[in-house]
Structure 1
Amino acid sequence: MTASPRGWHMPPEFDHPLTIAEYERLPEDTEHRWELQEGSLVMSPSPRPRHALAAAELRGQLKPQLPAGLYGLPDIDINLELFPVNGPGQVRRPDLVVVDKAAYERADGEGTLLRASEVRLVVEVVSPGSVRMDNLTKRGEYADAGISHYWIIDVNEPVSLVECHLAGEFGYQDNGGVTGVFTTSVPFPVRIDLNALIRPT
């Protein structure tokens, strides 16, 4: 999307479902978070303080552990590539994604969205109003989009992380959720202090 000095007061009106190319041409909205659901613009609620803190702290913990050539990008649009190019677009805006440097440079250079096929890891921090969306709807969409790894973080105490990974025709399988300290070796070695996401030292 192109830059705009002001956010939209109301979403633009369209007489047809938007394609990805049409969505990419919309002016940037600095006041609201939008997603594209089967071609229709849908506004996401603004994050509450705990959600925002957890997302920021997660990125802070993750950044020094990322292997060279990987970027952790917060709050960014992803083209899920679920429909033909000229069909209705499906765009989600996760709290954090990890992509290769080459994917970032491609999207930045072209002025287009990151693609699901370029995403190594997608992370959603659950809000009170997004429990079903993050645990069911987006879980299904990210699996259908072929994103190999999906983390779902619930910031209700005790803070927990459900690690999902693609398992062929079965979609995502998960670890049942962990609390305290989360460690994994895929898609890269990482250790996350979950309690520190809401109580940084």
Structure 2
Amino acid sequence: MTIQPVAPRHLLTVAEYLEIGEIELGYSELVEGRLLMSPSPAFDHNNAALELAVALRARLPEGLRVVTDLDVDLQLVPPDGPGTVRRPDLLVATEEARLRVRHEGGVLRASEVILVVEIVSPGSARTDHVLKRSEYADAGIPHYWMVDPAEPVSLLACHQAGEFGYADDGVVTGTFTATEPFPVEVDLRSLR
């Protein structure tokens, strides 16, 4: 038997969101205290995330970890306020963060994340390019990449630019090369 979640009568804190637990058939995020349900990603979406994770893992400096599909508390409000928890398709966080979560429980904190990656789906383009770009920048996450698996596969790499949020150098197809947050070269065609 599947238990359907009941809509709360108030805006949720991060702690209250975590008490709900995992919800079947898709995943959930918390946006300003509101529960957001999303369908499970499609095959090409998951394949792009996996291939990128494998490519990044080979290039990560010591002390960093790449992982897919984990909740991140964006820490945009105090713990007793209506929180925002996003679940990027891929992220790079510190080893210390992994150990903290293992020992304390909870979720990753934005302050522990170096890079978030969203794989753009037909229904998520505006959310990824506008809402999440703004939220991740406000949360202080240094780097945000958006990968569009449609032909030709493309990547838009954003980085913190002070009070202006994220800046970017434009969409890349073919081979993506970066020096920050760590040196990496990715053949984007391998993500299809």
- Map Cα deviations across residues 141-200 of structure 1 (whole Å, 9 max, x no partner): 0001011100000111111100100100111000111000101110111111100111xx
- Map Cα deviations across residues 92-146 of structure 1 (whole Å, 9 max, x no partner): 0000110110011111211111001111000000000000000001000000101
The answer to whether 1:37 aligns with 2:41 is no
What's the offset of the Cα at 1:52? 1.0
Letter in 2 for 1:166: Q
Q: In structure 2, what is the equivalent of residue 89 of structure 1?
A: 83
Calculate the TM-score normalised by the size of structure 2. Answer: 0.96
Moved more, 129-138 or 104-113: 104-113
Aligned residues: 192
Residues 168-187 of structure 1 mapped to structure 2, 5 A cutoff: 168-187=162-181
Contact 2:25/2:39 (<8 A) preserved: no
Letter in 1 for 2:96: A
Distance in 2 between residues matched to 1:68 and 1:81, nearest whole Å: 26
RMSD: 1.2
Residues 54-69 of structure 1 mapped to structure 2, 5 A cutoff: 54-69=48-63
- Secondary structure in structure 2 of the residue aligned to 1:14: coil
Q: In structure 2, what is the equivalent of residue 13 of structure 1?
A: 7
Distance in 2 between residues matched to 1:43 and 1:197, nearest whole Å: 26
What's the offset of the Cα at 1:12? 3.0
- Secondary structure in structure 1 of the residue aligned to 2:170: coil
Distance in 2 between residues matched to 1:29 and 1:106, nearest whole Å: 24
Identify which of 41, 47, 53 aligns with 1:53.
47
- Is there any run of 5+ residues in structure 2 with no aligned partner, and where? none
Distance in 1 between residues matched to 2:76 and 2:112, nearest whole Å: 14
Fraction of identical pairs, as percent: 54
- Secondary structure in structure 1 of the residue aligned to 2:80: coil
Q: In structure 2, what is the equivalent of residue 78 of structure 1?
A: 72
- Map Cα deviations across residues 65-95 of structure 1 (whole Å, 9 max, x no partner): 1111111010010000111110101010000
Distance in 2 between residues matched to 1:15 and 1:32, nearest whole Å: 22
Residues 108-127 of structure 1 mapped to structure 2, 5 A cutoff: 108-127=102-121
Runs of 4+ in 1 over 3 A off after TM superposition: none
- Secondary structure in structure 2 of the residue aligned to 1:65: coil
The answer to whether 1:167 aligns with 2:161 is yes
Contact 2:25/2:40 (<8 A) preserved: no
Distance in 2 between residues matched to 1:131 and 1:9, nearest whole Å: 30
What's the offset of the Cα at 1:9? 4.1
What's the offset of the Cα at 1:29? 2.7
Distance in 2 between residues matched to 1:166 and 1:126, nearest whole Å: 20
- Secondary structure in structure 1 of the residue aligned to 2:20: coil
